Amino acid sequence: MAGPGIEPSLSRRGFLGSALLAGGAGLMPRMAFAAPDAEMLYPHLAKLARDYVDSGKLPGVVSLIGTGATQSVIARGVQTLGDPRPAGPDSLYRAYSMTKPITGMAAMMLIDEGRLGLDQPLADILPKYAKMQVQVTPDGSITDVRPARTPITIRHLLTHTSGLGYSITQKGPLKAAYEANGLVPAEISRAEIPGLTVGKPLPSLAVFADRLADMPLVYEPGTAWSYSVSLDLLGRVIELVSGQPFDAFINERIIGPCGMTSSGFQVAPANASRLTTNYRVVKEKLVPIDPADKSVYLDPPAYPFGGAGLVTSPRDYDRFLQMVLNYGVIDGRRVMSEHAVRLGTSDLLPPALIGARVFGRISGFGAGGRVGVGEDAGTFGWSGAAGTVGFVSYRAGLRAGLWVQYMPSSALQIGEEFPVAVRADVYGQKAAA
């Protein structure tokens, strides 16, 4: 879930801005042994954290850069204003849409095992999706519809090209219908937050999938990139195909094997002291909307939200990114096949949409994440509603994560500034060339 307001790293200059980590011919990263500690090795990231924390714009900022088996952490500030506990690599953050690449990779496992087909019709698994209707005018009337000519496929779900909607991106009657029918697969707070929360989600993933099939599509499947609830629906597909509850599959196949010991769809009581507070930026002031000690994430979720539900730590999520960067291997253990990772991080957009714009930037799209093209080739990742960012760069041989908690993500520029700082630190003075 992007949350109300699109992720800043995705909405304006695109995931990596101006070829931020592509490097280019002859441009090699600086050697890691050039400085004795993380803040000296990554001075631009250290400055970014100082600028936002010392000015009071954010209570804490954590950046984690990984190369090989090494994790370099730049952390400043606290988890919650007024609480001395520092923000760090083991603090817990609401990942929101950074859950999507994990769900996407889970689907790639099933595709690789032959239990699911990339271009298999969704209706093979969920028959209610066999005869979908499409709005004649996108975001217009929900009664002026026509039959869809193309079946929704698994590829469409992975790449947001299914034509499904999202209450955070649609307008008018369809947005209202999603909200009225509980098709809001995320939770933000125990309290109603005007402009951010839009009622309670449905009681189960099965009910969500069933109710969603009654909504008209915004676009004909395969004809437009449009941010959607498709990764949440894919969670239902995964549990039906695997024969396991969606969260159990994620835990058994990705979270556990990757050693993500603090990640899940609910914060365990033993980990509550590490949970950060989520804030809303109101006239440059921070207003707590999900206090750590009263967080909705301390409660069991209505169901596991495959598009927006994970809570994780910077260290944990970097373990997932490390596995992806290593083509399925971490600590000598294979979690996914190399083929599944290569396919999932490749451009899976339908042929008619190759070169499409993803939040304004020409990009590819893989298994739940943006795929860089052209000068940005070799990158894969996504960001989250509360300002988080996570990606891998195959060209630079690194993975990077930004961990903050504020909404809407468009309220501050840190998500755009983060990959710029990463490039400057990785390539040194050559970054300005």
pLDDT at position 89: 98
Whether residues 141 and 72 share a domain: the answer is no
- Based on the domain organization, do 243 and 141 belong to the same domain? yes
pLDDT at position 196 is 85
- What is the per-residue pLDDT across 195-249, written as a single tens digit (0 to 9) for each? 887 778 999 999 999 999 999 999 999 999 999 999 999 999 999 999 999 999 9
Mean of pLDDT values over 315-343: 98
Q: Is the pLDDT of residue 411 over 90?
A: yes
Q: For residue 254, is it within any domain?
A: no
Residue 127 in domain? yes
Pair (416, 395) in one structural domain? yes
Q: Are residues 243 and 154 in the same domain?
A: yes
Residue 370 maps to a domain: yes
What rounded mean pLDDT belongs to the chain? 91
348 & 397 share domain: yes
Domain end, chosen from 224, 247, 270, is at 247
Q: How many domains does the chain have?
A: 2
Q: Which domain holds residue 391?
A: 8-104+259-428
Q: Are 99 and 310 in contact (CB under 8 A)?
A: yes
Q: Which residues pair with 286 in a beta bridge?
A: 281
Domain boundary among 186, 217, 247: 247
Residues 241/242/244/247 CA torsion (nearest 10 deg): -90
Whether residues 359 and 422 fall in one domain: yes
Contact 319, 330 (CB under 8 A): yes
Domain end among 221, 247, 273:
247
CATH code, 314:
3.40.710.10
The Cα angle at residue 184 between residues 183 and 190, in degrees rounded to 5: 135
| Same-domain check for residues 264 and 384 | yes
Note whether residue 319 is domain-resident.
Answer: yes
Q: Residue 90, Cα to own-chain centre: how many angstroms?
A: 19
**Residue 10 confidence class, pLDDT cut points 50, 70, 90:** very low
For residue 25, pLDDT over 60 is answered with no
Answer whether 87's CB lies under 8 Å from 76's CB. Answer: yes
Q: Output the pLDDT for position 374.
A: 86
* Cβ–Cβ under 8 Å, residues 163 and 219: yes
- pLDDT of 105 > 70? The answer is yes
Q: What is the DSSP string of 305-343?
A: -TTT--EE-HHHHHHHHHHHHTTTEETTEESS-HHHHHH
Taking a C-beta distance cutoff of 8 angstroms, is the pair 186, 96 a contact?
yes
Taken in order 40, 41, 42, 43, the sign of the CA dihedral is positive
- Residue 197's pLDDT is what? 79
Residues 168 and 265 in one domain: no
Q: State whether 239 and 263 are in the same domain.
A: no
- What ranges make up the beta strands (E) of 29-174? 60-67, 70-77, 93-94, 133-135, 145-147
Same domain flag for 330 and 409: yes
Question: Whole-model pTM?
Answer: 0.92
74 pairs with which residues across the strands?
63
The pLDDT assigned to 370 comes to 97
pLDDT above 50 for 48: yes
Residue 253 domain flag: no
pLDDT band at 194 (very low <50, low <70, confident <90, very high): confident
Residue 413 has pLDDT above 60, yes or no: yes
Per-residue pLDDT, 17: 39
Q: Above 70 in pLDDT, residue 2?
A: no
Residue 327 has pLDDT above 60, yes or no: yes
pLDDT surpassing 70 at residue 27: no
- For 268-281, what is the mean pLDDT? 96
CB 8 within 8 A of CB 97: no
Q: Residue 425: pLDDT above 60?
A: yes
Do residues 266 and 351 share a domain? yes
Same domain, 139 and 100: no
3-state secondary structure of 364: strand
| Prior bond of 86 cis (ω within 30°) | no
Mean pLDDT of 184-201: 89
Closest CA to 307 of 382, 373, 230: 230
